[in-house]
Structure 1
C-alpha cells in the first residue's frame, strides 16, 4: 500500500477571520476549483461547518469521467483548522487537513492531504503521469484564484510539495 502526501502553503494579506469565513464555507470550494472539473455541490453545504457534516459533490477529475464524491468534516477548531475525509469517491483514502494561522501581514493557509489511490499497482502507475499532475494543477489554480480574490503578500513563500510516504 503506497500513500502519497500533498503539502501546500500560501500566505495571503487577510485576517484569520476572513480566511476562516471563506475556507470554512463549503460553497466556496467551487470558486477555487478549476471550471473544467465540473465541480457541483449536490447537498450538505447549506449549514455552517460542523464535525460530522456530510457533503456530496459531483466532479469530473479527468475529461469524460464524472464521479460522486462524499466527504465528512471530521474535526473543526473554529478559526484554526478543519479536516475533511472522503467517505466515497475516486480515492482509496483522502484525508485533508486545512490550517489557518496568523503571520505578520496576514495569514498562512496550509493544506496537508494524505491520499491513496485505488487499483493497487495500476493506481500507483497512474500517479506520476495522471494524478500527481492533476493535483498540482488544481492547487496551482487554487493559489492563483485566492490571490485574485484576496491579493498576495510581498516576500511570501508559497509552497507546493508532493511525496510518497
Structure 2
C-alpha cells in the first residue's frame, strides 16, 4: 500500500487559546470544508464538549464524483494547545493519519497539518490518487487556508 504525504503550514493572527478552541472542535470542521463535499458531523455529542483521546467522530461526506459516504475518525492523541491527531476508523481511505500542530509565534499561531493517507485498491488506487484524490485533498486544504484568512484575517497585516 503506497502512502501519500501532505504538509501544510499557515500562520493565523489569533491567540493560541482561540486557535485551539476553534480547530479542536469537530463542530467547526464543516465551516472550513468546501460546500460541495456536503460535510455533516453525525456524532451525537455536545457541541461545546472538549475533545478527548478516544473520541469517535462520525460524518457524512461527498468526497468525489457525488458519491455519498460515511466516515468515522478517532482522536488518538492530544496534547492541549500543542497538537491532536485524528485517524480514520471507517471511510474512503485505506489509511488516514492527520496531525494538527499549533505553535505560538509572534503575532499569532503557526498551524501545521501533516496528513499521511493511502488509497485502497492497489495500483488502481494509486492511479486514482494521481488523477483525482491528490488534487481533491490539496483543494480541500487550499480551501481551508482561504476560509481561515476570511475568518481570522491575514497574518502580519
TM-score normalised per structure 2: 0.96
Contact 1:26-1:45 at 8 Å conserved across structures:
no
Deviation at 1:104, TM superposition (A): 1.2
- Alpha-carbon distance in 1 for matches of 2:147, 2:136: 16
Gaps of 5+ in 2: none
What SS does the corresponding residue of 2:31 show, helix, strand or coil? coil
What SS does the corresponding residue of 2:97 show, helix, strand or coil? strand
Gaps of 5+ in 1: 156-165
Q: What is the root-mean-square deviation in Å for CA atoms of aligned residues?
A: 1.1
Q: Map of 1:90-129 to 2, 5 A cutoff?
A: 90-129=92-131
Deviation at 1:62, TM superposition (A): 1.2
What SS does the corresponding residue of 2:63 show, helix, strand or coil? strand
- Alpha-carbon distance in 1 for matches of 2:60, 2:150: 25
- Alpha-carbon distance in 2 for matches of 1:83, 1:45: 19
Q: Map of 1:46-65 to 2, 5 A cutoff?
A: 46=46, 47-65=49-67
Count of equivalent residues: 155
Q: Which has the higher contact order (CA 8 A, sep 6+)?
A: 1
- Alpha-carbon distance in 2 for matches of 1:136, 1:2: 18
Q: Map of 1:2-151 to 2, 5 A cutoff?
A: 2-46=2-46, 47-151=49-153
Deviation at 1:129, TM superposition (A): 1.3
TM-score normalised per structure 1: 0.91
Deviation at 1:143, TM superposition (A): 0.2
- Alpha-carbon distance in 2 for matches of 1:144, 1:33: 11
Note the alpha carbon deviations across 1:118-142, whole angstroms, 9 max, x for none: 0110000011210011011101110
Structure with greater strand share of residues: 1
Relative to structure 2, which stretch is displaced further, 37-46 or 64-73? Answer: 37-46
